[in-house]
Structure 1
Amino acid sequence: MGQALGCVQVKQSKVAVREQFGKFDGVLEPGCHCMPWCFGYKVAGELSLRVRQLKVQCETKTKDNMFLNVVASIHYRPLPDKIPDAFYKLLNADLQIQAYVFDVIRETVPKLELDTVFEQKSDIAKAVQKELAKVMYEYGFEIVQTLIVDIVPHVVSIKAMNEISAAKRKRLVAKEKAEEENILKIKRAEGEAESKYFVGLGIARQGQAIVDGLRDSVLDCFTQIMLRRG
């Protein structure tokens, strides 16, 4: 913005806030404007209408006690029809946005387990977007987009996750081994039962053969006796 001989120039994608004797008097669009300073007019400041990006890193804890950092990317800009609010109401828009991002993330994430946090990244982003859009509109800003760009578990949490995974794998291996041993026991028992069955069957057949042999011997003796008498 240039100012000489009571004229100011506002560059493209910007607006200027005009005051008269310290009181808001209007918004100057891009272009050249007459500013008779002798009548108390001055430019109080400028606002860029371009979309700004703010990255917010928030430390929090999940429902299963895993500590992590959630990184949110907020895209926002001043609303053209609410320039006075954007200029006068907030001293630092970034700090205000950051505070609300912290509030929403620290309210949402502790209700979720770690795996669910990764699965519901978009839902967390929508919750942040909804809260920010409602609040920042009152300050003259539009929240264009909110993204959860990264979720980074702490080193201690990663170690705990690895230990939990290792314990799960050990339990799974032990369970599979127990099932395998149980199957082998059943197979052994079935084999022993089948073996005993065949042994018993052999003994029964052997006994039947002895009985049949005795019967045949008795019949032969009886036949011979009858023949001698005849």
Structure 2
Amino acid sequence: MITTIFTALFFVVGFIILFSGIFTVKQQTAAIIERFGKFQRISTSGLHFKIPVFDQISGRINLKVQQLDVMVETKTKDDVFVKLKISVQFQVIATRIYDAFYKLENSHDQITSYVFDVVRAEVPKMKLDDVFERKDDIAIAVKRELNEAMEEYGYDIIKTLVTDIDPDVQVKAAMNRINASEREKVAAEYEAEAERIKIVAKARAEAESKRLQGQGIADQRREIARGLEESVDVLNNVGINSQEASALIVVTQHYDTLQSLGEETQSNLILLPNSPQTGSDMLNNMIASFTASNQIGEVMKKENALKEKKKRQQEENQRRLEEENNKRSQEDFGDDLTD
């Protein structure tokens, strides 16, 4: 009975020991095998065997592309504090797994230190606007420095990206106000230009309207004058003189006006008492005014001509006087030379 128990126990322990010598490694992963604490070999993906008890899996290394996000706060050249988020994509070199496992204790801390060092060396050389415009230059500088440092430890830096630039809240608010002011300025310029165009177009339209209106009034008056002239000629041909013809035309227009006013049913015009003699008196007054105006004009012309004549005569006398004085001065100067 005891022999059977020990046999069964032996088989169980042997099976456990044998089973412990079998292990698997996942895809894109490498296992480090040590024997009594000394490096033995590297096992890649698949099913593997190791000597139980003697061989141990010391660790596993991820061969996939990994990403580490590092937040760095630093100061720009124009004394603005800004936070930059640097994303570093890295991978263990398949042929340098030994170096990656044994030479470096913590790859994330090492990469973070180099990122801080590079960013705080590059950003203080730039102004805030340049940081936004030249973020690719910062990423390239970080990648170059990390490649030189991490290659020794078996790591390949695939790409570095500046994924976020976050200035201080007050700085962002000021930048937004500046941007809004610039846009408002541009909008005001466009609105002013549009208003100027509308004003110019309106002025041109009004000028054209006034020109056409003046042309229409001139044509109207020209036609009226031509009609009056023809009417006077017709009346003169039948023995009516010019004054009588003018009076007849005024009376005719007077009654034509009254007739047109009478046709307006909704007019609020109030007519005062009038008679045909009123038109004749108006014509006589107009003729008298024209006559008096012509007489005054002739008198003013004569007065102006007389003043102009006196002025020319005074200028002529002044000129003669100056010539005589000059002549006398020359004669006196010649006598002095003779003496």
* Fold match (TM-score > 0.5): yes
User: Would the alpha carbon gap of residues 14 and 218 (structure 1) be closer, same or farther in structure 2, given more than 3 Å must change?
Assistant: closer
Partner of 2:151: 137
Partner of 2:98: 84
2:47 matched to 1:32? yes
User: Would the alpha carbon gap of residues 16 and 210 (structure 1) be closer, same or farther in structure 2, given more than 3 Å must change?
Assistant: farther
Kindly state the Cα deviation for residue 217 of structure 1 after the two structures are TM-superposed.
8.7
- CA distance in structure 1 between the partners assigned to 2:26 and 2:97 by the alignment: 16
User: Would the alpha carbon gap of residues 210 and 158 (structure 1) be closer, same or farther in structure 2, given more than 3 Å must change?
Assistant: farther
- CA distance in structure 1 between the partners assigned to 2:85 and 2:20 by the alignment: 48
2:147 matched to 1:97? no
2:148 matched to 1:51? no
> What letter is aligned with 2:30?
V
Partner of 1:62: 76
2:27 matched to 1:12? yes
Partner of 1:181: none
- CA distance in structure 2 between the partners assigned to 1:33 and 1:136 by the alignment: 30
Kindly state the Cα deviation for residue 125 of structure 1 after the two structures are TM-superposed.
0.1
Higher strand share: 1
- CA distance in structure 2 between the partners assigned to 1:67 and 1:108 by the alignment: 14
Q: Which runs of 5+ in 2 are unaligned?
A: 1-17, 186-305, 317-339
Partner of 1:42: 56
Question: Higher relative contact order at CA 8 Å, sep ≥6: structure 1 or structure 2?
Answer: 1
Higher helix share: 2
Partner of 1:215: 312
- CA distance in structure 2 between the partners assigned to 1:113 and 1:211 by the alignment: 80
User: Would the alpha carbon gap of residues 213 and 150 (structure 1) be closer, same or farther in structure 2, given more than 3 Å must change?
Assistant: farther
- CA distance in structure 2 between the partners assigned to 1:218 and 1:15 by the alignment: 123
- CA distance in structure 2 between the partners assigned to 1:97 and 1:86 by the alignment: 13
2:162 matched to 1:148? yes
TM-score, structure 1 as length reference: 0.69
Match of 2:87 among 73, 82, 89: 73
> What letter is aligned with 2:58?
A
Kindly state the Cα deviation for residue 76 of structure 1 after the two structures are TM-superposed.
0.7
Kindly state the Cα deviation for residue 80 of structure 1 after the two structures are TM-superposed.
0.7
Q: Which runs of 5+ in 1 are unaligned?
A: 173-208, 220-230
Q: Counterpart of 1:75 in 2: which secondary structure?
A: strand
Kindly state the Cα deviation for residue 161 of structure 1 after the two structures are TM-superposed.
4.8
Match of 1:21 among 26, 30, 36: 36
Partner of 2:285: none
> What letter is aligned with 2:154?
G
Kindly state the Cα deviation for residue 5 of structure 1 after the two structures are TM-superposed.
3.7
Kindly state the Cα deviation for residue 156 of structure 1 after the two structures are TM-superposed.
3.7
> What letter is aligned with 1:78?
V
Kindly state the Cα deviation for residue 13 of structure 1 after the two structures are TM-superposed.
1.0
Identity of paired residues, percent? 41
User: Would the alpha carbon gap of residues 158 and 4 (structure 1) be closer, same or farther in structure 2, given more than 3 Å must change?
Assistant: same
User: Would the alpha carbon gap of residues 5 and 157 (structure 1) be closer, same or farther in structure 2, given more than 3 Å must change?
Assistant: same
User: Would the alpha carbon gap of residues 212 and 115 (structure 1) be closer, same or farther in structure 2, given more than 3 Å must change?
Assistant: farther
Q: Counterpart of 2:143 in 1: which secondary structure?
A: helix
> What letter is aligned with 2:34?
E
Partner of 1:111: 125
Kindly state the Cα deviation for residue 37 of structure 1 after the two structures are TM-superposed.
2.2
- CA distance in structure 2 between the partners assigned to 1:121 and 1:5 by the alignment: 52
